[in-house]
Amino acid sequence: MIEMSEISEMGEMSEMNEKHYIVRGRDSGVFFARDIKRTGTEVKMGWSRMIHQWAGAAALSQVAVDGIESGRVCVIVEGRIVLDACEIIPCTGEAAANLLDQPEWRA
């Protein structure tokens, strides 16, 4: 389980590896990510998928627990950096498997 000190100490580098997370950015959007490092509001992601739209979950906390029924989940991107993170939620194994299994949304 994630320790609150890992995400609450502003300005301190925090490594949260080997787990999957939902990262919400104030302007940049919502991401399903793995191998993240946080410094203040900056989050470096080993890889991530942007979740553009979803159905089957009332809020991001439910996405992190249950996953989604359907949605627009973009391709995997290596090495994304989000500069405006305002929320980081650890995912359950069930949610991570569900989000990994979502088809890639492409234009």
CB neighbourhood size of 100 (10 A)? 15
Read off the pTM: 0.84
Cα–Cα dist 92/89, whole Å: 10
Q: Are 98 and 69 in contact (CB under 8 A)?
A: no
Please write the tens of the pLDDT for every residue from 9-61.
434 446 655 699 999 999 999 999 999 999 999 999 999 999 999 999 999 99
Cα–Cα dist 95/107, whole Å: 25
Q: Can you give the residue ranges of every domain in the chain?
A: 4-100
